[in-house]
A and B are shown apart, each in its own frame.
Chain A
Amino acid sequence: MAAQGLFLKKMGIHFARFEQGEPRDMRYRIDVSSKRRISIEQIEMYRESGWDYVTSYGQFHVFSSPAELDAPELHTDPAEQVYTLKGLDKKLAWNAGSAIIGMVLMIGMMASIWFLDGTPTYVMVDGAMITQTILTLFIAYTAYHSLRATLSIRDLRKNLVEGKSIDHQASWKNHHRIHTAAALLFTVVVGLCAIIPFIQIAKMETNTLPEGSVDLPIVRLADVENHPDLIRPEAEYMSDNVDWGNRVSSEWSLLAPVKYESYENGVVPGKLWEDLSGEYSPGIQTEYYQLRFPSMAKNLVWDLVERYLYENSLDEYVEKKHPDLDLLVVHEEEEMSEVFAAKGDEVMYVRYHGYADISSVIENVVEKID
């Protein structure tokens, strides 16, 4: 660079500032100090031998000397240089150690969230883990990088102990290019994924479900029940002007750009539950997902089964054939039925509490999922 008239002025982790001047041959050396600051005495001592202080970055200090001055090397005794690098070695080892511990903790935490429930696809689609996953990758890269730095300083010290001095003409370009590209990529990805939670929050919405028909892929209680006397009961829990017993929420996530969840409750005045526990009051809950990748649909169905099976056993969930669905899983109990369905990139889960036949629920699912 100096041969082209560009002289180093300042440096940071990825960028450096150069100043224009008369082209000349310059030698540059980096010296490492055990403390962050370099002492005036040291600068003075180097200057007297023909090395001018240029700039520092952390523990690294740059000196330059015009080639024609033929100043003596900064370090003439490899054995002594080993001591100089000891502080750096320690610091790097500590960095690498803590980065690796951090990475292991993160991976452990992630793995438990991903796999403890046995519903990895659900966790992915839900989207809450995307940011953490990418952050974990980032931490893993940092750990790898600091480990490499530690090992290369170890190697350097070992070589010095053996009396081999540093090759000041060694090529650095390749390593520099790879590192810069990786750093840039990570900066962009981490930056983007930092936005994701904000998009998710911004797109989250919950409203009271209108009593009339709505153009949403959710199964309505009235369609399943088909009872002329069915009415909506008085709202039991109101908050933020939303009737939480009759509500619909919409959400966005990276892997499920369209997601709805609805709850609906009804009552048929004058009709009683068969066990005479009170007025017949059926309820229905729908979860609808439109996935970015259709290949995830079947896995999501089984993850939803896993998620909602509670104390039931898996064999109570029966896979059925249906001409209009890719996958249909049903579960029936006396007053309750659950339907899990997938078609193309759509997945639907309906949980119904009432006396209507499950075929009525399935019909509605087929109609809405189309």
Chain B
Amino acid sequence: MAYSGGPMTEAMYYVLLALMRPNHGYQLMQAITEVSNGRVNMGPGTLYGVLSRMQKDGLISLAENDGRRKTYEITLEGKQALRTEYDRLKALIHDSWILEEDAGNE
């Protein structure tokens, strides 16, 4: 399914985020763990699935391919998608001020 601009899965978002710096396989997994402060430990099956799908959708591309190991980087389109999603998430947070107020009242 081509990415149509709707809400991203968490896996998509973190892979795009991590690929702001070109990376590959195992290191990319660690980068995701780092970027998420250890909250997201992505399994290799999930990572592989996300990579191949987002490559097909043009959100990421191959930076380097030495046969065994493929290095991916985010594309312009990917950056735009990531930015849109970021704005959406920010709006989500912004709209949640009611929670802060509730916490203050307790």
B43 contacts A44, CB within 8 Å?
no
The interface stretch among B45-53, B80-88, B98-106 is B45-53
Determine the chain B residues whose CB is within 8 A of the CB of A42 once the complex forms: 48
A43 to B68, CA, bound (A): 10
Shortest distance between the CB of A281 and any CB in chain B (Å): 81
B49 contacts A48, CB within 8 Å?
no
> How many residues of A are in contact with the other chain, CB < 8 A?
22
The interface stretch among A76-84, A149-157, A186-194 is A76-84
B53 contacts A44, CB within 8 Å?
no
A-B contact count (CB 8 A): 74
B29 contacts A49, CB within 8 Å?
yes
Determine the chain A residues whose CB is within 8 A of the CB of B49 once the complex forms: 75, 80-81, 83-84
Shortest distance between the CB of A164 and any CB in chain B (Å): 15
A31 at interface (Cβ–Cβ under 8 A)?
Answer: yes
Q: Tell which of A41, A73, A77 touches B10, judged by Cβ atoms closer than 8 Å.
A: A77
CB-CB under 8 A for A81 and B69, given A44-B25, A48-B26, A49-B29: no
Shortest distance between the CB of B58 and any CB in chain A (Å): 16
Residue pairs across A and B with Cβ atoms less than 8 A apart, 6 shown, are A45-B44, A46-B44, A72-B44, A74-B45, A76-B43, A80-B11
Chain B interface residues (CB < 8 Å from chain A): 1, 9-12, 25-26, 29, 40-50, 53, 67-70
Chain A interface residues (CB < 8 Å from chain B): 31, 40-42, 44-46, 48-49, 51, 72-77, 79-81, 83-84, 86
Closest 8 CB pairs of A and B: A74-B45, A48-B26, A76-B43, A77-B11, A49-B44, A75-B45, A79-B9, A45-B25
